[in-house]
Amino acid sequence: MSDEKKVNEKTKQEQLEQYKVDDSNKKMTTNQGLKVSEDELSLTAGERGPTLMEDFHFREKMTHFDNERIPERVVHARGFAAHGYFEAYESMEQYTKAKFLSEPGKKTPTFTRFSTVVGQRGSTDIPRDVRGFATKFYTEEGNYDLVANNMPIFFIQDAMKFPDIVHAIKPEPHNEIPQATAAHDTFWDWAANNQESANQIMWLMSDRGIPKSFRTMEGFGINTFRFVNGEGKSHFVKFHWKPKLGVHSVVWDEAQKISGKNPDFNRQDLYDQIEMGNFPEWELGVQVIEEKDEFAFDFDILDATKFWPEEDVPVKIVGKLTLNRNVDNFFSETEQVAFHPGHVVPGIDFSNDPLLQGRLFSYTDTQLIRLMGPNFHEIPINRSVCPFHNNQREGYHRQTINKGPVAYHNNSLSNNHPKPATEAEGGYVHYEEKVEGRKIRRRSASFEDHFSQAKLFWNSMSPVERKHIIDAFSFEVGKVKSMNVRQQVVEMFANVDTELATAFATNIGSQPPSTTGSSVTKSSPAVSMANTVKTALTRKVGVIIKDGFNDTAVTDILHGLHANGIVYEIISGRQGMLKGTSGKELMVDHSFITTDSVLYDALYIVGGSDEDDEFQQNATYFVKEAFKHYKPIGATGAGAKLLDEYSMLGSPGVVSGNDQKFVNEFTEAIAAHRHWDRVIVTDK
Ligand code: HDE
């Protein structure tokens, strides 16, 4: 059993060990390099006297501390990041001259930050929200940032409206309530009065809004970009990240409980899995549309509230991202990283998508205040790996010491250096799109249909996914105090589907809608999570066990689960060592007090020999929660008796046994993620 334990233990013992360093030769200094003789006592006039102004060491230490915080991001404040690399599968030269996509096997270092959008820095990882998925590629041609979300569309069509949606969804300004949620009046008031948000809200109300793990999220560049090849030919392109582990979420009751039991749920998962060597992977996909087909669709391809159904525009897989290294320091790396959709390399260019155009302004603007000045590209995490030379100088926090008197272009004193590069030398040349028009503030008529794709999304959902969407609307809009706003929301979503709107109208005490729904019958199976990859790999099982467990069977079963790529934690009535029937020992990771049923993908109930009411009660609570959340449950010996007592045995995803056949059946049940066909009776 020791091998598997090691895998789990790595996150705790070995991680701590790695930080032990032999510092005996290094002495503590001030920031000026002066060796410090005392770090815990201020300089005072006598043992009981006042502190002296001349205590420069105290003042330096305290001033630094007083200034430790920087403003959090105005959106996407709560994030978590990891290093990795991107590997191209093939040459994309036909479409783009970007070098990181130019040959099979080519590797580019990366840094990826996942985030929630609405909550503040200290909020929960698992609210119902859109997630950010931003990747910096440190390419030989400069940094390329793919600043994506986990849903393929956005709330608005024009960046001009971004401050409005963000103000409406953030905590209300008079009392700063509620935190990290759209479930309040101002958001739904905004939504009902800005109906272009319908498609994004459908996705947000779906299970995509509560991802189980960053590792089981898709990523979407949302905006339409251009690929430009060596001949100067352009194609429209959308970017996708496809997780190798499939797309999976938790259920809403679970999400709310996790937020209390472990608000670091998603970041902990990513950190631990990387430490264990289970490096998460996503494949990069592109959807490509020829310029001649710009108007071939029943939506405008520049409208960021629309996705391109994969069945119409296939996703071509072009490479893979692997995250394989946690950061050394959260602040220096995760907090100080600065992404920007305008960080592009030759071969990637912009479309006229009005949301993208506005984003191209906003990201640098926001970094100027957050990172205090124009030199944030010099912070180590933001530095490109290729050298940069230009005549920009000075400003807050300048690190580079430029030499010489020449800081202007077109000069003779320095041989006109640094010189711009020609296109052939790798100089970035913007795609020469022909543009002409009057100066207007007007939206194209091709942006007007807000409901057809929202309906297409609804059509694509499985019955369980639809039920979850209705429940989510019932929760979110049910939290709105204004009955008038509730009714407006009902009417708005009746434009999508009458059955949907009627169902949640009933739950929230509103009138049935007077509008009738969209007549679109098309669906896109690719957007349903029911059709995603299913695997047991890296799933986390809570093993509920106590002294006197059947150790021959259990040892083999745990070995078997481990061999199938499953991770487990041992849970019992107390921490310390447990003893099995023939003397084998097992170390407990968690007592019932330090963990909870909602933190596991599945439970394995073993129990032990003697009667113990408290253990029994706790085990029963864990099992009932897991059962209610449709999770796989396995049992051996006394554990199976417990499941039988509550008539759970025989339900979908509940298996028992003590041999290899059981290991296989349990693994299969775990791979299924959740067993939606299970009948949940409320007293279970
Ligand atoms: Fe952002 N967004 N955004 N956004 N966004 C920011 O930049 C903005 C949008 C996204 O991990 C800010 O550095 C505007 C879409 C991610 O550091 C800010 C508009 C998508 C992150 C900003 C959008 C995104 C941000 C805040 C509408 C998916 C976190 C802090 C026009 C394609 C990056 C910062 C990280 C962050 C502006 C809409 C993705 C204010 C104006 C659509 C993943 O500049």
pLDDT digits (tens, 9 = 90+) for 236-255: 999 999 999 999 999 999 99
Site to substitute for ligand 1 among 146, 336, 339, 365, most atoms within 8 A of C-beta:
339
541 CB-near residues (< 8 Å, 6+ apart): 561, 566, 567, 568, 569, 600, 601, 602, 603, 604, 634, 670
Region 576-598: mean pLDDT is 95
CA–CA distance, 236 with 223 (Å, rounded to integer): 10
| Percent of the chain's residues with pLDDT above 70 | 97
Residues 444-469, mean pLDDT to the nearest whole number: 98
Amino acid at 36: V
Asked if residue 273 has pLDDT above 80, the reply is yes
CB count in 10 Å sphere of residue 644: 13
Atom 3 (ligand 1): residue with closest C-alpha? 359
Q: Average pLDDT, stretch 461-475?
A: 98
Tens-place pLDDT, residues 659-668: 999 999 999 9
Instruction: Specify the ligand 1 atom closest to the Cα of 304.
Output: 42
Ligand 1 atom closest to 365 (CA): 44
Helix (H) or strand (E) holding 265: helix 265-275
Atom number, ligand 1, closest to the C-alpha of residue 149: 28
Distance 130 CA to ligand 1 centre (A): 11
pLDDT digits (tens, 9 = 90+) for 38-55: 999 999 999 999 999 999
Query: Which residues 6+ apart lie within 8 Å of 105 measured at CB?
Result: 87, 88
Average pLDDT over residues 626-646: 95
- The residue annotated as part of the active site, out of 8, 57, 76, 248, is 76
250 alpha carbon – ligand 1 mean position (Å): 25
Atom 23 of ligand 1 has which residue's CA nearest to it?
A: 359
Q: Which of helix, strand or coil describes residue 526? A: helix
d(CA 528, CA 87): 28
pLDDT at 10: 56
Copy the structure tokens of residue 11.
Answer: 């996150």
Task: Answer yes or no: is pLDDT of 12 > 70.
Answer: no
Distances (CA, A) of 371 to 22, 377, 385: 33, 10, 20
CB-side neighbour CA atoms (13 Å) of 154: 25
Q: What is the SS3 assignment for 521? A: coil
Per the CB < 8 A criterion, the answer to whether 304 and 450 are in contact is no
Q: Which residue has its alpha carbon closest to ligand 1 atom 43?
A: 132
Atom of ligand 1 nearest to the CA of 362: 44
Task: Look over the chain and give the mean of its residue pLDDT values, rounded to a whole number.
Answer: 95
Alpha carbon nearest to ligand 1 atom 11, residue: 113
Residue of 70, 72, 75, 129 with the most ligand 1 atoms within 8 Å of its CB, for mutation: 75
Residues 328-350 have a mean pLDDT of: 98
pLDDT confidence of 8, banded at 50, 70, 90?
low
- Tell me, what's the pLDDT at 680? 80
Note the pLDDT tens digit of each residue in 373-424.
Answer: 999 999 999 999 998 899 999 999 999 999 999 999 999 999 999 999 999 9
CB 578 within 8 A of CB 547: yes
**Peptide linkage before 178 cis (omega within 30 of 0):** yes
Alpha carbon of 100 to ligand 1 centroid (Å): 24
Q: Tell me the CA–centroid distance for residue 198 and ligand 1, in Å.
A: 20
Helix (H, G, I), strand (E, B) or coil at 284: strand
Expressed in angstroms and rounded, the spacing between residue 154 Cα and the centre of ligand 1 is 11
The alpha carbon of 104 and the centre of ligand 1 are apart by a number of angstroms equal to: 31
pLDDT tens for 288-337 read: 999 999 999 999 999 999 999 999 999 999 999 999 999 999 999 999 99
Q: Is 2 helix (H, G, I), strand (E, B) or coil?
A: helix
User: CB of 92 within 8 A of CB of 107?
Assistant: no
| Helix-strand-coil split of the chain, %, nearest 5 | 35, 20, 50
- Is residue 663 within 8 A of residue 541, CB to CB? The reply is no
Q: Is the pLDDT of residue 679 over 90?
A: no
Query: Of the residues 362, 367, 369, 371, which should be mutated to test ligand 1's pocket, given the most ligand atoms within 8 Å of the CB?
Result: 362
| pLDDT the model gives residue 19 | 74
Residues 6 or more apart in contact with residue 146 via CB below 8 angstroms: 134, 135, 137, 219, 221, 239
Residue 238: alpha-carbon gap to chain centroid: 19
Residue pair 298/514 in contact (Cβ under 8 Å)? The answer is no
Helix (H) or strand (E) holding 459: helix 452-460
Domains defined along the chain, listed by start: 79-378 (2.40.180.10), 448-530 (1.20.1370.20), 534-671 (3.40.50.880)
CA distance 345 to 340: 12
Q: How far is the CA of 219 from the centre of ligand 1 (A)?
A: 14
The rounded Å distance from CA 147 to ligand 1 centre is 7
Which of 15-24, 88-97, 347-356 bottoms out in mean pLDDT, i.e. has the lowest? Answer: 15-24
Q: What is the structure's pLDDT at 17?
A: 76
Which has more pLDDT, 22 or 263?
A: 263
Retrieve residue 501's tokens. Answer: 């709107």
What would the pLDDT profile of 516-557 be if each residue is shown by its tens digit? 899 999 999 999 999 999 999 999 999 999 999 988 899 999
- Residue 315 tokens, joined: 């996703």
Q: What atom in ligand 1 is closest to the CA of residue 222?
A: 32
Q: If you ran DSSP here, which 8-state letter would residue 364 be given?
A: H
Give the integer Cα–Cα distance in Å for 303 and 169. 22
Residues 371, 320: contact at Cβ < 8 Å?
no
Contact 192, 485 (CB under 8 A): yes
Question: Cα dihedral sign for 193, 195, 198, 204?
Answer: negative
533: which 2 tokens?
A: 């990859």
- Active-site hit among 8, 83, 143, 149: 149
How much is the pLDDT for 682? Answer: 52
**Active site includes 149?**
yes
Helix boundaries (H) for 479-583: 483-494, 498-507, 551-563
98 CA → ligand 1 middle, Å: 23
Q: Give the CA radius of gyration of the chain.
A: 28
Which residue's CA is minimally distant from atom 16 of ligand 1?
132
pLDDT above 60: residue 4: no
Judge whether 214 and 131 are in contact, CB under 8 Å.
yes
Asked if residues 572 and 588 have their Cβ atoms less than 8 Å apart, the reply is yes
Pull the structure tokens for residue 371: 């990172």
pLDDT at position 2, please? 43
If DSSP states are collapsed to H, E and C, what string results for 366-422? Answer: HHHHHCCCCCHHHCHHHCCCCCCCCCCCCCCCCCCCCCCCCCCCCCCCCCCCCCCCC
Q: How far is CA 442 from CA 196, 300, 306, 446, 460, in A?
A: 15, 15, 19, 12, 33
Mean pLDDT score, 338-343: 98
Report yes or no: 133 and 383 within 8 Å, Cβ to Cβ.
no
Give the DSSP letter of residue 13.
I
What is the residue-wise DSSP string for 539-565?
Answer: -EEEEEE-TTB-HHHHHHHHHHHHHTT
* Candidate from 112, 145, 147 with most ligand 1 atoms within 8 A of CB, to mutate: 147
Nearest atom in ligand 1 to 134's CA: 43
Reduce the DSSP state of residue 292 to 3 states and report it: helix
pLDDT at 9 over 70: no
Question: Which H/E stretch holds residue 633?
Answer: strand 633-635
Distance CA(315)–CA(311), nearest Å, equals 9
Ligand 1 atom closest to the Cα of residue 159 is 31
Rounded (5°) CA angle 233-238-241: 130
Q: Is the pTM of this model over 0.85?
A: yes
As for ligand 1, residues whose beta carbon falls within 6 Å of it are: 73-76, 79, 113, 115, 132, 134, 147-149, 154, 159, 162, 221-223, 304, 337, 339, 355, 358-359, 362-363, 366-367
Q: Which of 72, 73, 331, when mutated, tests ligand 1's pocket best, judged by the most ligand atoms within 8 Å of its CB?
A: 73
Beta bridge partners of residue 110, listed in sequence order = 84, 137
Please confirm, yes or no, whether 248 is among the known catalytic residues.
no
Give the Å distance between the CA of 363 and the centre of ligand 1.
Answer: 7
